[in-house]
C-alpha cells in the first residue's frame, strides 16, 4: 500500500505534524497535494486540542512549487493566483505553524514555508523565488511576505534575479531563520514545538491573532496587486516556453 500524499500525525501534547510526501512529483503543487493540504489544515483548524503544527517534506524536498500543468492553466485563464490560497494555510491557521524545510523549497514551495510563524532551513538545500525565470511576476503573496520575512534587500534580489540559494549562503547573508544541517531541521522543529505546546492554547491563539493580524488584513489587497502584475507580464510571455518551476 502506497503512503498518503499528506500525512497528519499526532505527536502528543498538542503537537501535530503534517508531512508532504508526494515522491512522484517531489511535492509539487498538484491538485492532489493542494486538496490534501487544504483538507488537512481544515481538520487542524477544527481541533480544540492542537497547539502547534509542524509542516515538513520528505528527504531532500520540502516543496517543488507549481507544476507545468498549473502554469499552463494559469496562462489559459483557467484559474487565478487567488483560486488556491496555499499561503493562507499557515497564515490563517489559529495556532503557530513551524515550517521544517529540510529539503528544497522552489518558487511557491519556498513561499509556502515563508508564511509559517517559524521557518527552519537546511544548509544543503536550495531555496528560490524563481517566477521571473519564466517571464512573469510572483504570486501567492510572495511580494508581500518575502520582504517582511527576509528583509527588503534580499527579498528584492531573490525575486528579481530568480536565483537559487543554498541555505548555507542565506545564513551568511543574515537571513533571520534558523539554518541547520538537514538532519537537524526536524529535531529543532520538534524542540520548538514542544516548547510552544507548554503554553495554554487560548494564549497561543490570542497572541498569534495579534501578531499576524495586520498581515491577514493586508493580504487580499496585496494579492490583487500581484494578480494585476501577472496579467500585465503574462501578455508578454510565451506560454509555450514555460517549464516546470520545480526544475533547477
Secondary element (H or E) of residue 226: helix 201-234
The full set of domains in the chain, from first to last, is: 6-182 (3.90.226.10)
Residue 211: all three cell numbers together: 501578531
Looking at residue 83, what is its pLDDT?
47
Looking at residue 237, what is its pLDDT?
61
Question: What is the Rg, in whole angstroms, of the alpha carbon atoms belonging to the chain?
Answer: 17
Biggest distance spanned by C-alpha atoms of the chain: 52
Looking at residue 248, what is its pLDDT?
38
Distance, first Cα to last Cα, the chain: 31
Looking at residue 71, what is its pLDDT?
60
* Sequential DSSP letters for 142-201: HHHHHHHHH-HHHHHHHHHH--EEEHHHHHHTT-SSEEE-HHHHHHHHHHHHHHHHTS-H
pLDDT in tens, the chain (248 residues): 578 999 999 999 999 999 999 999 999 998 899 999 999 999 999 999 999 999 999 999 999 987 666 565 555 555 555 446 788 999 999 999 999 999 999 999 999 999 999 999 999 999 999 988 877 788 889 999 999 999 999 999 999 999 999 999 999 999 999 999 999 999 999 999 999 999 999 999 999 999 999 999 999 999 999 888 887 877 766 544 555 433 43
Cβ(49)–Cβ(16) below 8 Å: no
Looking at residue 87, what is its pLDDT?
83
126-157 exposure pattern, b = at least 16 Cβ within 10 A, e = fewer: bbbbbbbbbebbbbbbbbbbbbebbeeebbee
Amino acid at each position: 500500500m502506497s503512503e498518503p500524499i499528506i500525512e497528519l500525525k499526532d505527536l502528543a501534547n498538542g503537537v501535530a505534524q503534517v508531512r508532504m510526501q508526494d515522491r512522484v512529483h517531489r511535492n509539487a503543487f498538484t491538485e492532489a497535494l493542494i486538496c490534501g493540504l487544504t483538507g488537512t489544515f481544515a481538520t487542524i483548524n477544527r481541533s480544540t486540542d492542537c497547539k502547534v503544527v509542524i509542516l515538513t517534506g520528505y528527504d531532500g524536498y520540502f516543496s517543488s512549487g507549481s507544476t507545468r500543468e498549473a502554469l499552463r492553466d494559469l496562462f489559459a485563464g483557467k484559474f487565478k493566483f487567488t483560486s488556491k490560497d496555499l499561503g493562507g494555510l499557515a497564515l490563517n491557521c489559529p495556532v503557530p505553524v513551524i515550517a521544517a524545510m529540510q529539503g528544497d523549497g522552489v518558487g511557491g514551495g519556498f513561499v509556502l514555508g515563508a508564511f509559517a510563524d517559524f521557518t527552519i532551513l537546511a544548509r544543503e538545500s536550495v531555496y528560490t523565488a524563481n517566477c521571473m525565470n519564466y517571464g512573469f511576476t510572483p504570486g501567492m503573496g510572495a511580494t508581500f511576505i518575502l520582504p517582511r520575512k527576509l528583509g527588503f534587500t534580499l527579498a528584492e534580489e531573490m525575486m528579481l534575479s530568480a536565483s537559487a540559494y543554498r541555505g548555507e549562503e542565506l545564513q551568511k547573508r543574515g537571513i533571520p531563520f534558523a539554518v541547520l544541517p538537514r538532519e537537524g531541521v526536524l529535531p529543532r522543529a520538534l524542540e520548538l514545538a514542544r516548547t510552544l505546546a507548554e503554553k495554554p492554547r487560548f494564549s497561543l491563539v490570542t497572541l498569534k491573532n495579534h501578531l499576524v493580524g495586520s498581515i491577514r488584513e493586508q493580504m487580499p489587497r496585496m494579492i490583487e496587486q500581484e494578480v494585476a502584475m501577472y496579467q500585465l507580464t503574462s501578455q508578454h510571455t510565451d506560454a509555450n516556453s514555460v517549464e516546470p518551476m520545480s526544475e533547477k
